Structure 1
Amino acid sequence: MQLKPAELASHLAARRLAPIYLVHGEEALVALEAAQAIRDAARAAGFAEREVLTVEPGFKWAELAASGQAISLFAEQKLIELRIPTGKPGTEGGDALQQYAAGAPAENVLLVQCPKLEKVQQQSKWFAALEGAGVAVACPLVGRAELPGWISERLARQQQRLAPDALDYLCARVEGNLLAAKQEIDKLALLHPPGELDLAALTEAVANVARYDVWGLGEALVAGDAARLARMLDGLRGEGEAPHLVLWALADEVRALLRVGLGRAQGGNLQQLYRENRVWGDKQRRYPAALDRLKASQLKAALAHAAEIDRIVKGVGQGEAWEELLKLCMRLMPAAQAMGRTSMRG
């Protein structure tokens, strides 16, 4: 039997535990939560004893059969966790798993944990045996397309939901980092009551926990707030933030400004350009003034400067990274436009 991670909770609540669970996939957070849900359900069902086996060099597969047959002095029911870090049990292990599945004892639950399994492994006899005797839960990566649904489902558990623009903003902020998404969602449960949250509530929640935030650099850059930028850079440096992350945030904003500006100059739809370049919330209101203030040539020169800073950060260029980051920001501030402001052009 196969289940998606989102289906596991209802399965565990609605029926007697299966004798075998196989959790596999490369989305570590989802796999960890699935395994923990199975542990919790087993404990609630009376499986008071837990034994952990890890397949590593020297592991003897006879231990699995022995664990399944051993009678505990302390509990009638036992949860056995078998961790296979490589996802490859080998010939001996495959045979041992098939034998266990063929006669899985009712007084035990076996939880097998593997990383991402390739197609050939999912077509193996041992995988089919475990799946046939129990439940397989695949935990693939949560990509950009799946992220809104994943976030919305998690928010629904705490009786919250995000307005469309707030959901887009959060997805852009945490894309590729599911742990960060979980932390933001947990934070919203603590700071806001049930119901719909708008973009202002979301950004306020973020600001409440972070004194300095690399994501705010782009907002200050677009606003042309030189003093705020300097303070933020100084604060991030004092907090030990990695300069390459600061550089990435700044360069990402400069690229967005360049793309939106060039698209606007060619008659493109501004709202569509904002969506394509992940420009959200109040920043949209400030973008037209920023684009009027900055020339395409300035933005291209700033990206070239960013490439130089990248070499410094990697130790192959000359200069001090934080000083150059400040110079990069200041060259895009209104004070640098002493000769007058012109519309975006190449």
Structure 2
Amino acid sequence: MLLKGEQLAAHLERSLAPLYLLYGDEPLLVLEAADAIRQKARSAGYSEREVLTVLPHFDWGQLLAAAGNLSLFGDKKLIDLRIPSGKPGKEGSAALQEWCKRMSPDTLLLISLPELDWREEKAVWFTALQSAGVACKLNAPPLAELPNWIAARLRRQQHSADPEGLKFIAERVEGNLLAAHQEIQKLALLYPAGKLSLAQIRDAVLNVARYDVDSLREALLAGDVGRLSRTIEGLRQEGEAPPLVLWAMCEEIRSLLTLRLGLDAGRALDAVLKEANLWGARQLGAKRAVQRLSRTDLESALRQAGEIDRMIKGLVRGDLWDAFQRLGFSLCSVRRNKT
């Protein structure tokens, strides 16, 4: 069974599976989900717990041995298996598949992993675990959904806020759910239950956004001028290397140009998406971006990128970060495609 993160709480109210697989790009959500499962397991009589962490040279025999090492008093046991790399390897794959064949009602297996790509989600070991128990994908909400996520967290502590206040928090914790969680908890310490004003939120919430080149690429594809501007400024303040920023932007421009040329030539969308090496969320963003950008737009953007490259190398003068902003703005402009 595959669940979304928001479905886990309702599932745990109804039942407890013998196996859980938690994975995703947001450690806070994975940790909270694991805590909820552990709490449910304790209430169901799983009073023993053994933690196994898969590091280099891990002996997978420990996993199967842990299932056999039950208490003399007949207590149920939870095995907390953590795979930081997200890759169990050949030996681990075989051990996990063997576990699925030998599951016991007295032993619950909880597996925690980082984000997995689509190839790993199709691996034999993953599909075996998903079939035997519950897999739950826990990714951070996109920026557009972050205000609703914050509102739900505020309700837990009997607080509420207007859309302006929710947006204010979201923009300052973008890409950093742990910081968002901490800021929301801080509001509970500072103010009594009830509705929070924008002034109260402004006074309490720090600018704790975490900016990286992946956020930049997402903003560029979405055509979100405000987010792109904040991200570029955040990268500048955090001392990000300009060559890395330029590489990230050029990767998107080249992919979009490949997509645009293929579509202009009358080729099938799926074929050109594969040729441009676009998958998952990037594929959806690229489909939208290519609708507003023509071949002329993208070729002009590459020329701008070439000018920035010369600035980085000291061959021409100019404000490097202003140039990044101008390049980003040119790619966020909404217009009809031109030939």
User: TM over 0.5, yes or no?
Assistant: yes
Q: Distance in 2 between matches of 1:19 and 1:214?
A: 39
Q: How far off is 1:248 after superposition? A: 2.8
Report what 2:34 is aligned to: 35
How far is the alpha carbon of 1:2 from its aligned partner? 1.5
**1:243-258, aligned counterparts within 5 Å?**
248=237
- Shift, 1:171, TM fit: 0.8
1:203 maps to 2:192: no
How far is the alpha carbon of 1:44 from its aligned partner?
2.2
Quick one: structure 1 residues 58 and 196, their matched pair in 2 at CA, closer, same or farther if it must change by over 3 Å? same
TM-score, with normalisation over the residues of structure 2? 0.59
Amino acid corresponding to residue 25 of structure 2 in structure 1: E
1:14 aligns with 2:14: yes
Equivalent AA in structure 2 for residue 116 of structure 1: E
Note the C-alpha offset of 1:152.
1.6
Matched, 1:90 2:79: no
Output one character per residue of 1:151-179: Cα deviation in whole Å (capped at 9) or x when no partner: 12211222222101111111111111111
Does the aligned pair in 2 maintain the 1:26–1:141 contact within 8 Å?
yes
Alignment partner, residue 326 of structure 1: none
Counterpart in the other structure of 1:233: none
Q: d(CA) in 1 for partners of 2:21 and 2:134?
A: 6
The runs of at least 4 aligned residues of structure 1 exceeding 3 Å deviation read 244-247, 303-307
- For 1:246 and 1:22, how far apart are their aligned partners in 2? 34
**CA shift at 1:214, angstroms?**
9.2
8 Å contact from structure 1 (residues 27, 142) kept in 2: no
Flag the 1:94–1:306 CA change in 2: closer, same or farther, 3 A. Answer: closer
Q: Aligned AA for 2:107?
A: N
Amino acid at match of 1:30: L
Deviation at 1:305? 10
1:29/1:179 contact within 8 Å kept: yes
Q: In 2, distance between residues paired with 1:181 and 1:161?
A: 15
Counterpart check, 1:73 vs 2:72 = yes
Deviation at 1:108, TM superposition (A): 1.1
Once the two structures are superposed, the pairs formed by residues 282-301 of structure 1 within 5 Å of their partners are none
Q: Which residue of 2 aligns with 1:51?
A: 50
Compared CA separation, residues 306 and 88, structure 1 to 2 (3 A): closer
Q: Secondary structure at the match of 1:110?
A: strand
CA distance in 2, matches of 1:167, 1:245: 20
One-letter amino acid matched to 2:87: K
In structure 2, what residue type is equivalent to 1:57?
P
Q: Distance in 2 between matches of 1:131 and 1:34?
A: 16
Number of the residue aligned with 2:136:
137
SS of 1:151 mapped into structure 2: helix
- Select between 104-113 and 133-142 the one with higher mean Cα deviation: 133-142
Query: d(CA) in 2 for partners of 1:146 and 1:197?
Result: 20
Give matches, 1:1-346, under 5 Å: 1-15=1-15, 17-73=16-72, 76-206=75-205, 248=237, 304=319
Q: Distance in 1 between the 2:162 and 2:109 partners?
A: 42
Closer, same or farther: CA 29–204 of 1 in aligned 2, 3 Å: same
How far off is 1:22 after superposition?
A: 0.2
1:138 positional shift: 0.6
Alpha-carbon contact 2:160-2:196 (below 8 Å) kept = yes
1:306 Cα offset (Å):
8.2
Whole-angstrom CA distance in 1 between matches of 2:81 and 2:208: 41
Secondary structure at 1:21's aligned position in 2? strand
Query: After the TM superposition, which of the residue ranges 65-74 and 160-169 deviates more from structure 2?
Result: 65-74
Distance in 2 of aligned mates of 1:205 and 1:23: 33
Q: Over aligned residues, Cα RMSD in angstroms?
A: 2.6
How many positions carry a matched residue from both structures?
Answer: 220
Report Cα offsets for 1:116-155 as digits up to 9, x if no partner: 1111111112111111111111112332122112112211
Task: Report the alpha carbon displacement of residue 111 of structure 1 after superposing the two structures with TM.
Answer: 0.5
- 1:1-40 Cα distance to aligned partner (Å, 9 max, x none): 122222222222232x110000011111111111111112
CA contact (8 A) 1:214 1:246 kept: no
